[in-house]
C-alpha cells in the first residue's frame, strides 16, 4: 500500500527578506523584485524575479502553473491518472509523452553512470517498508525475507524504452521522485528563458538560477549548519534521509540502497550543483547511497558536478568533477 504524498522537508532554502510579492533589493522606480509562490510535485514552490515590471511577472504565473500541471500528469507517482501511475499499474504504456520518455531515459542514464546506485525501480522497496510499518504489531525493521522479496523487482536494466512504448520488468514499479522535481524545475526554467526572462531563480523542489540577480550579485542559498552557497547559475539539489522517515521512531528513510534494500547510512546530507536541475537531483539521490570512496571512483563520470556532503557525525567533505560554473566563491 502507498500513503498519501509523502512530505519532503527541503534542506536548502532561499535567503531573502520576502513579503507577499516584494523582495528587498535595489530596483528602479518602475520595477521591483517579485516572488511567485505555489506547489509542484507536492512541495512548496517559488520563483524569484529580480528587478522586473511586476505586471510582467504576474502575467507569467498562469503559464507556469499550467506547465507544472501538465508535467505532473506525466511524472506524478500520486495522481492515479498520470502516465507514470498507469505505467506502474499495467506494466507497459503505449504512446508515452515526450516528457515521460525523457525523464525515464534520464533515470536509466544516471543508473548506468552510477553503476545502479540510482535505480528508478526501488519503488518496490518503498512499498515493502510502508506496508511493514503500517502494521503496528511489527517491531523494528522489515526482516531480510521481506526485503529480499521486494528486491526481486529492483533492477533498472529490466526497463525498456521502445519507439512507441515503455515496458517494465515483472512486478516492477517506477518512481521518478529522485529526479522529478529537478526535471520540472528545468522545464519551467527553460520556458521562462524562452519568454525572455533572465535574472530569475526557479525553486520547484530543486533550485536553478538562469543568471545572477539584476545587479550582478549571486543568489544566496542557505544550508543547514554551513555557510550559504552563492549561486550565479546552474542548479542545486539536496538529498537527506531525514526528509522522509518511516516508522514511529524514524527507523528507516526513503533513500534506499538498491544493493541491500536498506536505507543508506553514509551521509546525513548531500548537495550537488550541476547545470541541470534534473541531473543535480538524480546525482544527489545516487550519491547519498555511495561511500566516500565510491564517490571518488565515480568522479570521472560526473563531469560538471560539485558535491558537498556531511556525514552523520557532521564531518564535511566536498568534491568537484571538472569545470563547475555557477557557484561564486
> What is the rounded CA–CA span in Å between residue 241 and residue 137?
24
State the distance between the two ends of the chain, measured CA to CA, in whole angstroms.
46
> What is the rounded CA–CA span in Å between residue 8 and residue 308?
20
At residue 133, the pLDDT reads 92
- The enclosing H or E element of 51 equals strand 43-52
Overall pTM > 0.75 = yes
Residue 61, class by beta-carbon neighbours within 10 Å (0-12 exposed, 13-18 middle, 19+ buried)?
middle
Report residue 58 as a C-alpha cell.
Answer: 504576474
At residue 1, the pLDDT reads 33
Across 200-286, where does the E strand assignment appear? Answer: 200-203, 207-209, 219-223, 226-231, 234-239, 245-246, 252-253, 269-274
3-state secondary structure 294-324: HHHHHHHHCCCEEEEEECCCCCEEEEEECCC
> What is the rounded CA–CA span in Å between residue 100 and residue 174?
11
Check: CB of residue 8 under 8 Å from CB of residue 244.
Answer: yes
pLDDT in tens, the chain (329 residues): 333 444 433 345 455 433 333 333 344 445 568 888 888 888 889 999 988 777 777 778 888 999 999 999 999 998 999 999 999 999 999 999 999 999 999 999 999 999 999 999 999 999 999 999 999 888 889 999 999 999 999 999 999 999 999 999 999 999 999 999 999 999 999 999 999 999 999 999 999 999 999 999 999 998 877 889 999 999 999 999 888 888 877 789 999 999 999 999 999 999 999 999 999 999 999 999 999 999 999 999 999 999 999 999 999 999 999 877 888 75
Check: CB of residue 316 under 8 Å from CB of residue 309.
Answer: yes
Amino acid at each position: 500500500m502507498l500513503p498519501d504524498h509523502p512530505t519532503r522537508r527541503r534542506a536548502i532554502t532561499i535567503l531573502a527578506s520576502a513579503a507577499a510579492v516584494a523582495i528587498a533589493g535595489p530596483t528602479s522606480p518602475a520595477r521591483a523584485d517579485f516572488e511567485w509562490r505555489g506547489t509542484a510535485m507536492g512541495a512548496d514552490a517559488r520563483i524569484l524575479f529580480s528587478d522586473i515590471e511586476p505586471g510582467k511577472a504576474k502575467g507569467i504565473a498562469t503559464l507556469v502553473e499550467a506547465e507544472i500541471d501538465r508535467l505532473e500528469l506525466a511524472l506524478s507517482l500520486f495522481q492515479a491518472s498520470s502516465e507514470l501511475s498507469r505505467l506502474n499499474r499495467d506494466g507497459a504504456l503505449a504512446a508515452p509523452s515526450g516528457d515521460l520518455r525523457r525523464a525515464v531515459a534520464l533515470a536509466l542514464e544516471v543508473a548506468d553512470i552510477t553503476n545502479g546506485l540510482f535505480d528508478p525501480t526501488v519503488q518496490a522497496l518503498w512499498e515493502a517498508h510502508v506496508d511493514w510499518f503500517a502494521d503496528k504489531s511489527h517491531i523494528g525493521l522489515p526482516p531480510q525475507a521481506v526485503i529480499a522479496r521486494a528486491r526481486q523487482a529492483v533492477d533498472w536494466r529490466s526497463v525498456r524504452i521502445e519507439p512507441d512504448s515503455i515496458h517494465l520488468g515483472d512486478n516492477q514499479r517506477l518512481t521518478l521522485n529522485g529526479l522529478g522535481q529537478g526535471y520540472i524545475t528545468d522545464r519551467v526554467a527553460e520556458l521562462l528563458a524562452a519568454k525572455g526572462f533572465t535574472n530569475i531563480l526557479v525553486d520547484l523542489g530543486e533550485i536553478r538560477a538562469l543568471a545572477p540577480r539584476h545587479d550582478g550579485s549571486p543568489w544566496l542559498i542557505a544550508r543547514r549548519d554551513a555557510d550559504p552557497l552563492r549561486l550565479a547559475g546552474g542548479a542545486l539539489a539536496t538529498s537527506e534521509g531525514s526528509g522522509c522517515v518511516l516508522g514511529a521512531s524514524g527507523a528507516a528513510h526513503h533513500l534506499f540502497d538498491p544493493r541491500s534494500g536498506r536505507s543508506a547510512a553514509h551521509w546525513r546530507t548531500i548537495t550537488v550543483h550541476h547545470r541541470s536541475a534534473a541531473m543535480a537531483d538524480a546525482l544527489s539521490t545516487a550519491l547519498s547511497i555511495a561511500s566516500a570512496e565510491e564517490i571518488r571512483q565515480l568522479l570521472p563520470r560526473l563531469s560538471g558536478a560539485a558535491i558537498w556532503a556531511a556525514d552523520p557525525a557532521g564531518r564535511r567533505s566536498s568534491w568537484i568533477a571538472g569545470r563547475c560554473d555557477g557557484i561564486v566563491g
